[in-house]
Chain A
Amino acid sequence: MTPLSHYLIFSGVLFSIGLTGAIIRRNILVVFMCLELMLTAANVALVGFSRAQGLEGVPVYDAQVMVLFIMAIAAAEVAVGLALIVAMFRARRGVESSSLTSLKD
């Protein structure tokens, strides 16, 4: 059986990749994908914990229910987020985050 530490390391790596991507990428579409990556990392950690806390091969289902909720909410969020990005692309012919300065200027 895979030890908890593997899940957590994998989840951490996944989260770091997501965070780094969110910080350094300019394209909002990519930033969006990185956000999803971070959510996925959280899900992996939750599932890992659910398995580790379980007794005699039966996991704690509370965490897995929460994972399902997160996925559902993430799906809804993706629908809204992608719609916003499409609208933005139409309005501005670009999805670069650094060009979103009209309030500042």
Chain B
Amino acid sequence: MLQNLPWLFLALPLVAAAIDWLCLQRCPRAAACCSIASAAVCFALCVAYLCGMQTGSPGVYEWFPLPGYSLTLGLLMDALSMKMMLVVTGIGLLVHIFSTGYMSGDPSNHSRYFAGLSIFMFSMSCIVLADSLLFTFVGWELVGFSSYILIGHWYDRASAADAAKKAFITNRVGDFGFLIGILLTFGVFGTLSFSDMAGHQAVPAQSGVLTALVLCLFCGAVGKSAQFPLHVWLPDAMEGPTPVSALIHAATMVAAGVYMLVRLQVSMGTDAFSQTACTVICTVGAITALLAALMATQQDDIKRVLAYSTLSQLGYMVMAAGMLSGEAAMFHLYTHAWFKALLFLAAGAIIVRCHHEQDIWRMGGLRRKMPLTTLCFLMGACALVAVPGFSGFFSKEAILTAAWESSIPLFVIGALVAVLTTFYMVRLCLVAFCGSARAEGAEHAREAGPSMLLPLLILGVMALISGYGFIADTLVPFAGFHAHDFEFGVPFLTGLLALIAGGGLAWIMYGGKQKQPDTDPLTPRAFSRALRHRLYIDAFYDKVLVGGIQQWGAAIVHCLDDGVIRRLVGHGAALFTAWCGKILGKIQCGSLRAYVLVSALGLIAAMILFAFTIIH
């Protein structure tokens, strides 16, 4: 009985979601308590397991048997998954608590919101704890569903409904590749279970098939982790409530792609990742990191800046995974989860207190109105831009070191992205927190309430300390992780230089006491316009892909409609009937003599027939 305790990770949030949805539609407070309780118990359970609690291996359930193989659902509880669970449940719990404060003044249905959060916790636990690719895929689709529900929480806003749809459909594209990858995996390894794959390393598979397999599975990660060219959904997903953006679209779900890649590298062995596959993965990660960082520099919406920053950091992680440096990828995933959740939640607090104002050019002077929130946000920003001593510094250092050792172009891109990261974060902080208020909302802002401040402070502490060896060694989701000692080398100097360069640029552009612009001074430039329009990638998808497919579809449908149905079936039948009528109508000529003639002929025919019949 006790050995099945880990299944509670899945059962509790699912039950909480069901109770919220079915029984507590009318009592939002009770629904919130129910969801928070389930998240808290999961977190406590996770801590207990990490502290060394042993309950034996959890039961495995047969889903359905196949000839010679049976698909099972089981939980894999190793260092990778349990420490990842700690990140998921920990941030999940804080976001649940924050949500009570964030949503308190909102007229929408809170029970639905908390049910969505609980469903998400359930689905994410599925991905993290799954012991087979199939189970992962189930969770994979479920997080897509919960993300859809939560992005579209304010579904009466057209933009939110569209964003939810866009996120879901874009993910489907990646999931299709993922599904093919799962089938290929079954073909090559003969099993879908992660723990059995390790034993099948000796299976002689052509490297081409293995490359295809890895790349197909990578497709799933491209969709879920919003990598180029499927990155378009993540910035739009910011239409959802801010805590949701923090939990799903920054800290956990979008990291699932990276987690899955690392999980594969651990179970299949890094030998399965061929040179070609690695190059593709690295390139995609690097392109995403660079493009997203560029686009982030010219966004005005505080959440969108953070969203593009998430994209760019995910690009870093994917790049690291592509360099077969899963350790660095997971380290960055882990620190990023804390500080990006912090940034989003702080942004959420700011948005609420500025009366739902998200444009940074209508904020300003917030450091005096909301000092604690500002402090938390700055801590997150410092971690993000890798100020030495903050958590992000250590993990970015790890990735840059890995890049330095594997390929110089990737290292250069990484450094460039670091410069851009510093630039856009300093820009954001200067505009939003310094100077004086630019609009009514920011004028009347006041400090966030305790239910919002508490999670912020906890996350702020984590953003500060989570990178240090003594914590990272125990908490980073990677078996046998060991934080490297500080080295005074090229990566460190590059990081420092990037920090100074980016910060200096932003200061020149936006800093200074006397400057208090109401819009970005770079707006009139052509490159600013291009970046604001997301380099026209979204427009291209809308016009060429979606529009093109719709046009072709419409042409085919028109062909069928007009050619086959209208011309052939409709018009043709009418013509045939009219023709028959014309022919038959000639019989009714109206001439008495013709009638008589015909009847006479008929009479004669009848007589002849009759006479001959008699004779015979």
Q: Give bound CA distance, A97 to B592, whole Å.
A: 6
Q: Give bound CA distance, A101 to B588, whole Å.
A: 11
Q: Give bound CA distance, A100 to B593, whole Å.
A: 11
Q: Give bound CA distance, A103 to B591, whole Å.
A: 11
B518 → A minimal CB distance (Å)? 85
Q: Are A103 and B590 within 8 A (Cβ)?
A: yes
Within 8 A of B (CB), among A49-69: none
User: When the two chains form the complex, which single residue of A26, A101, A103, A104 contacts B593, counting CB atoms closer than 8 Å?
Assistant: A26
Q: Are A23 and B600 within 8 A (Cβ)?
A: yes
Which residues of A are found within 8 Å of B592, using beta-carbon distances? 31, 97-98, 100
Of all chain B residues, which has the CB nearest A100?
B592
User: When the two chains form the complex, which single residue of B590, B596, B597, B600 contacts A101, counting CB atoms closer than 8 Å?
Assistant: B590
Q: Are B591 and A98 within 8 A (Cβ)?
A: yes
Q: Are B590 and A22 within 8 A (Cβ)?
A: no
Q: Give bound CA distance, A19 to B600, whole Å.
A: 8
Of all chain B residues, which has the CB nearest A103?
B590
24 contacts across the A-B interface (CB closer than 8 A): A19-B600, A22-B596, A22-B600, A23-B593, A23-B596, A23-B597, A23-B600, A24-B593, A25-B593, A26-B593, A31-B592, A97-B591, A97-B592, A97-B593, A98-B591, A98-B592, A98-B593, A100-B590, A100-B592, A101-B590, A103-B590, A104-B588, A104-B589, A104-B590
Which residues of A are found within 8 Å of B589, using beta-carbon distances? 104
Which residues of A are found within 8 Å of B591, using beta-carbon distances? 97-98
Which residues of B are found within 8 Å of A19, using beta-carbon distances? 600
Which residues of B are found within 8 Å of A22, using beta-carbon distances? 596, 600
Q: Give bound CA distance, A98 to B592, whole Å.
A: 7
- A85-105 interface bits toward B, Cβ cutoff 8 Å, 1 = contact, 0 = none: 000000000000110110110
Write the residues of chain A forming the contact surface with B, with a CB cutoff of 8 angstroms: 19, 22-26, 31, 97-98, 100-101, 103-104
Closest 6 CB pairs of A and B: A104-B590, A97-B592, A23-B597, A101-B590, A23-B596, A22-B596
Which residues of A are found within 8 Å of B600, using beta-carbon distances? 19, 22-23
Which residues of B are found within 8 Å of A31, using beta-carbon distances? 592
Of all chain B residues, which has the CB nearest A34?
B596
Q: Give bound CA distance, A24 to B588, whole Å.
A: 18
Of all chain A residues, which has the CB nearest B597?
A23
Q: Give bound CA distance, A103 to B597, whole Å.
A: 20
Which residues of B are found within 8 Å of A101, using beta-carbon distances? 590
Of all chain B residues, which has the CB nearest A26?
B593
Within 8 A of A (CB), among B558-616: 588-593, 596-597, 600
Of all chain B residues, which has the CB nearest A105?
B590
A103 → B minimal CB distance (Å)? 7
B77 → A minimal CB distance (Å)? 94
Q: Give bound CA distance, A37 to B600, whole Å.
A: 15
20 new A-B contacts at CB < 8 Å, known A19-B600, A104-B590? A22-B596, A22-B600, A23-B593, A23-B596, A23-B597, A23-B600, A25-B593, A26-B593, A31-B592, A97-B591, A97-B592, A97-B593, A98-B591, A98-B592, A98-B593, A100-B592, A101-B590, A103-B590, A104-B588, A104-B589
Which residues of B are found within 8 Å of A97, using beta-carbon distances? 591-593
A85 → B minimal CB distance (Å)? 13
Of all chain B residues, which has the CB nearest A97?
B592
Q: Give bound CA distance, A36 to B590, whole Å.
A: 23
Q: Give bound CA distance, A46 to B591, whole Å.
A: 32
A88 → B minimal CB distance (Å)? 12
B604 → A minimal CB distance (Å)? 9
B600 → A minimal CB distance (Å)? 5
- B179-201 interface bits toward A, Cβ cutoff 8 Å, 1 = contact, 0 = none: 00000000000000000000000
B589, B592, B597 — which one has the most chain A CB atoms within 10 A of its CB? B592
Within 8 A of A (CB), among B468-505: none
A89 → B minimal CB distance (Å)? 16
Of all chain B residues, which has the CB nearest A102?
B590
B594 → A minimal CB distance (Å)? 9
Which residues of B are found within 8 Å of A24, using beta-carbon distances? 593
A21 → B minimal CB distance (Å)? 10
Of all chain A residues, which has the CB nearest B601?
A23
A23, A24, A100, A104 — which one has the most chain B CB atoms within 10 A of its CB? A23
Of all chain A residues, which has the CB nearest B604?
A19
Which residues of A are found within 8 Å of B596, using beta-carbon distances? 22-23
Q: Give bound CA distance, A26 to B597, whole Å.
A: 13
Which residues of A are found within 8 Å of B593, using beta-carbon distances? 23-26, 97-98
Of all chain B residues, which has the CB nearest A20?
B600
B588 → A minimal CB distance (Å)? 7
Q: Give bound CA distance, A101 to B600, whole Å.
A: 22
Q: Give bound CA distance, A25 to B596, whole Å.
A: 11
Q: Give bound CA distance, A37 to B592, whole Å.
A: 18
Which residues of B are found within 8 Å of A104, using beta-carbon distances? 588-590
Which residues of A are found within 8 Å of B597, using beta-carbon distances? 23
Q: Give bound CA distance, A97 to B590, whole Å.
A: 10
Which residues of B are found within 8 Å of A23, using beta-carbon distances? 593, 596-597, 600
Of all chain A residues, which has the CB nearest B589?
A104
Of all chain A residues, which has the CB nearest B600?
A19
- B74-90 interface bits toward A, Cβ cutoff 8 Å, 1 = contact, 0 = none: 00000000000000000
Q: Give bound CA distance, A104 to B600, whole Å.
A: 23
Which residues of B are found within 8 Å of A98, using beta-carbon distances? 591-593
Which residues of B are found within 8 Å of A26, using beta-carbon distances? 593
A81 → B minimal CB distance (Å)? 14
A92 → B minimal CB distance (Å)? 14
Q: Give bound CA distance, A98 to B593, whole Å.
A: 8
Q: Give bound CA distance, A102 to B588, whole Å.
A: 13
Q: Give bound CA distance, A31 to B596, whole Å.
A: 10
Q: Give bound CA distance, A84 to B317, whole Å.
A: 107
Q: Give bound CA distance, A25 to B591, whole Å.
A: 12
Which residues of B are found within 8 Å of A100, using beta-carbon distances? 590, 592
Q: Give bound CA distance, A20 to B540, whole Å.
A: 86
A15 → B minimal CB distance (Å)? 10
Q: Give bound CA distance, A23 to B603, whole Å.
A: 13
Of all chain B residues, which has the CB nearest A28?
B592
Which residues of A are found within 8 Å of B588, using beta-carbon distances? 104
Q: Give bound CA distance, A57 to B226, whole Å.
A: 121
Q: Give bound CA distance, A25 to B593, whole Å.
A: 8
Q: Give bound CA distance, A23 to B591, whole Å.
A: 10
A54 → B minimal CB distance (Å)? 23
Q: Give bound CA distance, A23 to B588, whole Å.
A: 17
Of all chain B residues, which has the CB nearest A24?
B593
Q: Give bound CA distance, A23 to B600, whole Å.
A: 9
Within 8 A of A (CB), among B301-330: none
